[in-house]
Each structure stands twice: as structure tokens, then as C-alpha cells.
Amino acid sequence: MNFSTIVKGVLLTFSLFIISNFHSVAQQANFEAAERFTGDKMEKLIGNTSVYPRWIDDTNNFWYPYENAEGKNWYFVNAERPNQRLLFDQEEMASQLTEIFERPFNALDLDLKDFEYDTDKERFTFHVDSIEFTYNVNGNDLIKGDSLDKEERENWATYSPDSTYIAFAKDHNLYIMRSDDPDSTEIQLTEDGERWFSYQADQGDTTSNERLRSRARFFDDEQKIWVSRNDSRKVDELWVIDSMGERPSLETYKYGMPGEDEIGINHIEVFDIGSRERVRMDTDKWEDQDLSANYGNHQTGDYRPNSSDKLYIYRENRPSDKMDILIADTETGETTVLFSETSEPYFNWSYQYLGIMNDGEEYLWWSERTGWGQLYRYDSEGNLINQITSGNFVVGDVVKVDTTAQRIFFEGYGRDGDHPYNAHLYSVKFDGSDFKHLTPENANHNISESDEGNYFVDNYSRVDEPTRTVLRDQNGRVTLTLQEVDMSAAEQIGWKAPEEFKVKAADGATDIYGVMWKPFDFDSTKSYPIISYVYPGPQTEPFPTSFSLQGYTGRNQALAQLGFVVVAFGNRGGSPMRSRYYHTYGYDNLRDYPLADNKYGIEQLAARHSFINQNKVGIFGHSGGGFMSTAALLSYPDFYTAAVSSAGNHDNNIYNTWWGETHHGVTEIKKTVKEMNEDSVEVEKEVITFESEIKTNAALAENLKGHLLLVHGDMDNNVHPANTLRLVDALVKAGKRFDLMILPGRRHGFGPYQPYFERQKWYYFAEHLLGDYRTNVNFNLPEDE
């Protein structure tokens, strides 16, 4: 045998070894299973997973639609009796609609839009194909009405509480008219409105001489209107290009960035409907302060006073660590400070709440002054009467206030020993006595309160326990079971619930919570790459606490079926549902604060479970998660293998003012300058400016070793595409390989492009974590996309 033959034999043997070794390592992704268990398909199989009650004004009755294996039904509930019945005979409804439209209707899937209920006449209105119908509940009588015209559907009108008046905007100015006559005279209240200092809801709209929705709000007594508008005329412009129109066009909007001098100035004005006079509220105090007159809990609306003689205003300084509650005299515009508070480094805006009791006899206020969000009670002069709640837990949303019984109903987190992110319903007297836990089940409780008495619809579930929906009374007693999610059809085709877990943060002490999704054909003897779905907070963390089939739960479930263990867990600085220390941990370190916790959490899970392959780690996220996933890949290049980062704010110095300055910090700088006054005399003047500098992902571009897919919508007017393109520039200059996908015409959310993006993510992780580089696998996009 000659030397050449020996060499060829050695090379052939080596080549066969390489090919054999490649196929032993590479694993084919199970795209078929991923397609079978997408959130959309699971929802079609199972139906709804929660009840969303529509409480009927001034009653303890509500109705709701609900879809399951039996079809779509509408239910009517009387909470006082209590009982539940079908709202109407759907077969009869389908029959009548078939006769009217001369085409068939499916009684199990009636497409009835915009239900409205008339309590006095016991009838509903809705529309089908833009034709309005009235349905009399008692007689099963369907009456065809008129076609809804375009102007009605545009929803330009803001109605007064008793529907006497309509407020609207036109050519940036404020108008009112009576609602009882469509041809009534338009009354123009202002003449100084202009683009970027407008009374329109959309301040930048260039439409003229057309009725548009305004920024106006009516007082309950219908005597006055108040408006909050922002003077953004000096704020710098930002642009995106609409490439998908008949001709590419430029879209212009105002956008303040951290540290900039001009960020917009808020003004609050009150208009007397009778006299048509306007009064501006005197609120000046801090440079670049923020004002909000629609202040209160989003569920209760306690911010709106009963009478129009006064208005409550929330005032906060630019660093977001000092605030005042003001009472404004709407006749004179004068304001007085009810009470003030300081909360460093910034206020927790998720649960801030002002409850106005009996038109200002007493006030309820939410504060983190002890390090935990609790409720406090003040008298009419702003003096503290008593602390209402206390302890190492967080009071969440105030659900309802019963002033007659002097009792508050609220959601709370972390008080009773189960998952600290589970919401529970509690009640307590104004003086802090008679504290009650109303939802004892170990689950996350989603509460909807009645309009009249103290009744509550409770959707409660866990990620591994399907939703049960019940009606409760004021003592928490379950009086009626409304619906229970049945997962048997999904279980028959292999569906399994995800699992909750707990690890430690990188400090080795703080508990971190999360959820794990596995392939439904999971084999504990195999080794699976792990993928971490991330969002850094601080307003929320990326894992679910309730049962769901859609959203990121459905997406993570489908992704896992490819052959991955998918996890989502929190990090210090991530959630407002815990202590003030935990929530504000990331202050002054907006890029890096969540990264060590994510890496250490994955290491713990890999040490705990032999089926997790710590040498193949993926990470992905959207928006802040896009920022975080790239930062993780660049900060720990030897740990993370691949990242998919969508719509990431990779450079928070060009993200919006409020986000960066609040959560990273801003420095107030005072200096004295000399200038000439009106009399040509040189005088000294104090000038206040602000500075903010935030670490960027571009600064880490040299570190890239793994695989990075960057995705951004080219019309994202929230996180501007420049955030991604600046990172692209740094990666190119560093000579790094990466992948980039621009989605045309997409905003911050990807809308109809989402299914395509999801499958791109599947293939990217399949290639770089499984070694599955097949190119003949087609995208199976939903037919309706």
C-alpha cells in the first residue's frame, strides 16, 4: 500500500467520523409539534379561558360572552339572587338574521358586535355588517335598524355623564354641542389651539375642519369641562417612513429624549359650559414638572369629583422622586397643596392611588414609605389620620371603596404565603380594623367588581390550574360558579401544563420566580438546550401567574415543542409587586441590572435538572426584552449561544424621556447666567438643566461571539428603529457577523407579521441550538394572516 492510499484512507475515515459525529449531535426540530400547539390553535380547540363581565350601570346585573367546545354563548347574571341564564335563544337569533340577510348564520358562532344594554327597557343593541339591531330580551324580538354611517363609527364624540353635551375637537380647538340634536349649533370654546399644543387627542394630526376626538373630560355635574394638554411645540421632532403606501411618506412626531432641554409642558384648563369662560390652573413649581388631572385608580375612577368647583391634580418633578396632591379652585385657578411626599429613587406608578371620599371629607393614599406599598388615610386638610394596612406585602389595585360601610376592597400580593405574584382580594375598614382575606384559594385572582353592591366576579387560576370563574359576595363567599375551563380535549392530543419554579438571584439570597415549558414528548434521559424568555421590568416580569393559552404563554409552549426547555423568570428590579428595594434595584444601571440574575438562574436550573444542556443557551425578548437579550449575549459571550432580540431599546439615550430618566436617573444642574433684562440692565438668572447618560448595547459590540438576530419594525414610533441601527453600526465596525430583519410598515408590535416572526425565531434557535440547518422546511402560517 503506497503513501497516497494510506493518506486517502485516513482522510476518508476522518470524514466519516466527522459526518457521523455531526449527525449524532444534531437534532431535528419538531416543527410539526410546534405548529400543532400554537396559542391560536389551542384557543380554537378550548375556547375562552376567562370571563369578562359587562356590569350594567347602577345594577348588580351583568352579561358576558363565553366560547368553549359548545360554541359561543351570551349569559345574563343577577348577582343578588344569584342566578345565571342564557341571554337569548341563539337558534332563534340565527334564524331571524338568516331571514333578514338572506344568508345562513351559525348559531354556535354569531358575530354580534358592540352590545349595549338599556336597563329600563330590558333590551340590547348590537350590529351585524354595519346594520344596527335592537333585541328585546323578554319577547325574543329582533328589530332591524339603520345602517351605521362612517361618522358614528369613528367615535369622535366625548359625552357628558348624562349625555346632554358632546365635546370634540376641530382644527386643534375645543368645541361642544348638545347631543339631542345632530344638527345643533357647534359652540367653539377656544381659538388658540394649534398643532403640538392642541385640544385634539392626537396633537400631531394635520386634519382640518373635521370632528375629531378631544382631550376634554366632563365634571359629573355637567357644569364644566377640564382639559390637560401638553405644549410640545419646542420639543424636537422624530420621524419614521411609511414605505408601504402608494408613495413612501414621512411621518413626523414629537419625541423628548433623556437629558434634553425641551420635553413638553403640561397645562390644565377648566371651561365653564354656561359662560364659556376658561381658567388655567396655577400649578407652576418645578422645572419640567409632570401634571395629571385624571388621577386615581383606573378601575374605580375616584379621581373625578362630584362637583365642578374643584379639581384634584397630581404634580411630580422631573426626576420622579417628589410629588404633590393639589386641590384646584376651578373658578380662580388657585391651587393648594393637600399633601406631599418624597420617594427615592422614584415613585412606583403601578399602584399609586388617590381615593376621594365624600367629595373631600377624607382621602385614601397609596405609599411605599415603609418600603412596602400600603394604604393611608388623610383628613380634609391633608393630615394623616391613620395607616390603614401594614406588613411586608404590597397593596395592589384598589378595587372598590364602600364609603357607607367605610370599607376598602383591594388586591394584595405576598401576604398569605403562596406565590408572591398571586393577586388576592382583601377588605379592611378605613381605620385599619376588621381585615379580611376574601379569596383563600392558592391561585392568582383576577377581580371585576359590581357597579352597585359589593359583588365580585373572580377568575382564579395558576399556570398549571385552568381558570375557574365564580361570583363572590362582600365576605368572599362563592355564591355562583359561572364557568370552568375544560382542558380534556387538549390533554387528549398531548397537551401538558407548564411548571412553576423558584431559584435564587445572583446575591444568593433573594427568591426569583419563574415558569418552565417542556416538549410534550419530554424524555428526562435526554439533553435539551434551554431558552430564556426575558423582560427586565421594572413594571412587570416575563412569566405568567394565571392560566392562559395565548400571548407569550402560547408562544413559549410552541417554541418548547421544537425540542427545547423554555423558561421565563424574573430578576431583581423586575416587579412592582414586591418591596420597594426589589422594584428599584436597577436604578442607575439600566443596561446591566437584570443580567447576572438570569445567568445564575439558568445555572441553578441546569444543576438541578440533568436534562438541561447548559452548553446550549438561547435567550430572546421584545422591547425591553430585546434590549436585555442582546445585553446578555454581549455581556456573557461564553455562556449564551444565541439571541433573538426584537424591537429592543438598545440605546436608552434615544428612548423616551420619562422611561430613561425615571428608571436610570437624571441629574439636575443649576447654574447662574448673566443676561440683559427689558431695561438693558445686566442681571443674573438661575438656569436649570438636566443630564442623563445610559449605558448602551453598542458599547459591548466587540464582545459578540454567539449568534444574534436583530428584528425591528421600520415604523416603530415607540422604540425608534435607530435603537437597532446604532447597534448594527457598532457590530459592523467591530467586524461581527449577525442577522438583521426589518419588518416593513410595522410599529412596536408586529401585528399580522407576528406569526412570520415567531417561525423565524423557531428556525433561528433550531439552527444554532439544535444544529438543524434544513432549508426545505416551509412556514405554515395561519390561513387568516
Q: How far apart are CA 563 and CA 519, in angstroms?
A: 6
- Which string of DSSP letters, residue by residue, matches 35-62? HHT-HHHHHHHH--SS---EEPTTSSEE
Q: Is the pLDDT of residue 712 over 50?
A: yes
Average pLDDT over residues 116-128: 79
Provide the H-helix boundaries in 303-357: none
- Characterise 61 by phi-psi region: left (phi > 0), alpha (psi -120 to 50), beta (else): beta
Please give the pLDDT value at position 305: 58
Q: What is the pLDDT of residues 404-459, one digit of tens each?
A: 999 999 999 999 989 999 999 999 999 999 999 999 999 999 999 998 889 999 99
- Which string of DSSP letters, residue by residue, matches 444-463? EEEEEE-SSSS-EEEEEEET
Please give the pLDDT value at position 150: 44
Residue 9 lies in a domain: no
Q: How far apart are CA 258 and CA 489, in angstroms?
A: 51
| Confidence label for 785 from pLDDT (cuts 50, 70 and 90) | very low
Give the Cβ contact number of residue 75 at 10 Å: 17
Last residue of a domain, one of 95, 118, 151: 151
| Confidence label for 307 from pLDDT (cuts 50, 70 and 90) | confident
Residue 519 lies in a domain: yes
| Confidence label for 306 from pLDDT (cuts 50, 70 and 90) | low
Contact between residue 469 and residue 483 where contact means Cβ atoms under 8 Å apart = yes
Please give the pLDDT value at position 62: 92
Task: Write out the residue range of the structural domain in which residue 68 sits.
Answer: 50-151
Q: Is the pLDDT of residue 89 over 60?
A: yes
Q: Is the pLDDT of residue 516 over 50?
A: yes
| Confidence label for 554 from pLDDT (cuts 50, 70 and 90) | very high
Q: 588: domain CATH number?
A: 3.40.50.1820
Q: Please provide the average confidence, as pLDDT, over all residues in the chain.
A: 91
Three cell numbers at 513? Answer: 420566580
Total structural domains within the chain? 2
With pLDDT > 90 as the criterion, what percentage of the chain qualifies? 76
Residue 581 lies in a domain: yes
Look at residues 346, 394, 354 and name the one whose alpha carbon lies nearest to residue 370: 394
Q: Is the pLDDT of residue 303 over 70?
A: no
The C-alpha cell 364624540 sits at 157
Tell whether the torsion through CA atoms of 512, 540, 420 and 422 is positive or negative.
negative
Q: How far apart are CA 510 and CA 309, in angstroms?
A: 49
Q: What are the distances in angstroms from CA 291 to CA 199, 264, 269?
A: 16, 11, 12
Residue 203 lies in a domain: no
Is the previous residue joined to 466 through a cis bond, with omega within 30 degrees of 0? no
Q: Is the pLDDT of residue 301 over 50?
A: no
Residues 6+ apart with CB under 8 A from 492: none
Residue 132 lies in a domain: yes
Residues 6+ apart with CB under 8 A from 477: none
Look at residues 739, 741, 765, 768 and name the one whose alpha carbon lies nearest to residue 754: 741
Q: What is the pLDDT of residues 215-228, one digit of tens each?
A: 999 998 899 999 99
Q: Is 176 in a helix, a strand, or coil?
A: strand
Q: How far apart are CA 273 and CA 218, in angstroms?
A: 10
Question: Which residues sit opposite 472 in a β-bridge?
Answer: 456, 478
Q: What is the pLDDT of residues 217-271, one digit of tens each?
A: 999 889 999 999 999 999 999 999 999 989 999 999 999 999 999 999 999 999 9
Contact between residue 264 and residue 230 where contact means Cβ atoms under 8 Å apart = yes
Please give the pLDDT value at position 6: 47
With 0-12 CB in 10 A as exposed, 13-18 as middle and 19+ as buried, what is 328?
A: buried
Please give the pLDDT value at position 528: 98
Last residue of a domain, one of 151, 172, 192: 151
Q: Is the pLDDT of residue 783 over 90?
A: no
| Confidence label for 604 from pLDDT (cuts 50, 70 and 90) | very high
Average pLDDT over residues 653-657: 95
Please give the pLDDT value at position 220: 87
Q: Is the pLDDT of residue 151 over 60?
A: no
Please give the pLDDT value at position 453: 85
Contact between residue 585 and residue 359 where contact means Cβ atoms under 8 Å apart = no
Q: Is the pLDDT of residue 18 over 70?
A: no
Please give the pLDDT value at position 345: 96
Average pLDDT over residues 490-511: 97
Three cell numbers at 97? Answer: 338574521
Q: How far apart are CA 607 and CA 501, in angstroms?
A: 14
- Which string of DSSP letters, residue by residue, matches 388-436? ---SSSEEEEEEEEETTTTEEEEEEESSSSS-TT-EEEEEEETTS-S-E
Please give the pLDDT value at position 15: 47
Q: Is 773 in a helix, a strand, or coil?
A: coil
Q: Is the pLDDT of residue 677 over 60?
A: yes
Least confidently predicted of 203-207, 587-591, 637-641, 758-762: 203-207
Q: What is the pLDDT of residues 172-208, one digit of tens each?
A: 999 999 987 767 799 999 999 999 999 999 998 888 8
Q: What are the distances in angstroms from CA 405 to CA 154, 428, 435?
A: 42, 10, 13
Give the Cβ contact number of residue 52 at 10 Å: 14
Please give the pLDDT value at position 297: 41
Q: How far apart are CA 534 and CA 104, in angstroms?
A: 47
Last residue of a domain, one of 151, 179, 210: 151
Average pLDDT over residues 604-614: 98
- Characterise 33 by phi-psi region: left (phi > 0), alpha (psi -120 to 50), beta (else): alpha
Residue 726 lies in a domain: yes
| Beta pairing, strands 444-449 & 528-533 | unpaired
| Confidence label for 154 from pLDDT (cuts 50, 70 and 90) | low
What b/e sequence results for 343-369 when a residue is b if at least 16 CB atoms lie within 10 Å of its CB, and e otherwise?
bebbbbebbbbbbbbeebebbbbbbbe
Q: What is the pLDDT of residues 388-401, one digit of tens each?
A: 999 999 999 999 99
- Which string of DSSP letters, residue by residue, matches 58-118? TSSEEEEEEEETTEEEEEEEETTTTEEEESS-HHHHHHHHHHHHTS---TTS---EEEEEE
Q: How far apart are CA 319 and CA 338, in angstroms?
A: 21
Q: How far apart are CA 168 and CA 216, in angstroms?
A: 8
Give the Cβ contact number of residue 724 at 10 Å: 30
Look at residues 526, 512, 658 and name the one whose alpha carbon lies nearest to residue 599: 512
Q: What is the pLDDT of residues 351-390, one digit of tens each?
A: 999 999 988 999 999 999 999 999 999 999 999 999 999 9
Q: How many Å from the N-terminal Cα to the C-terminal Cα in the chain?
A: 65
Q: How far apart are CA 358 and CA 377, in angstroms?
A: 13
Q: Is the pLDDT of residue 109 over 50?
A: yes
Average pLDDT over residues 79-90: 92
Contacts 24+ apart (CB under 8 A), 279-283: 279/330, 279/331, 279/332, 279/333, 280/333, 281/311, 281/313, 281/326, 281/328, 281/330, 281/333, 281/335, 282/328, 282/333, 282/334, 282/335, 283/313, 283/315, 283/326, 283/328, 283/335
| Beta pairing, strands 707-713 & 642-646 | parallel
Please give the pLDDT value at position 302: 47
Residue 523 lies in a domain: yes
Please give the pLDDT value at position 21: 44
Cα torsion through 270, 271, 275, 277, rounded to 10: 70
Contact between residue 313 and residue 307 where contact means Cβ atoms under 8 Å apart = no
Three cell numbers at 31? Answer: 416543527
Give the Cβ contact number of residue 385 at 10 Å: 14
Q: What is the pLDDT of residues 51-65, one digit of tens each?
A: 999 998 888 999 999
Query: pTM value?
Result: 0.92
Question: Which residues sit opposite 468 in a β-bridge?
Answer: 460, 484
Three cell numbers at 130? Answer: 354595519
Residue 326 lies in a domain: no
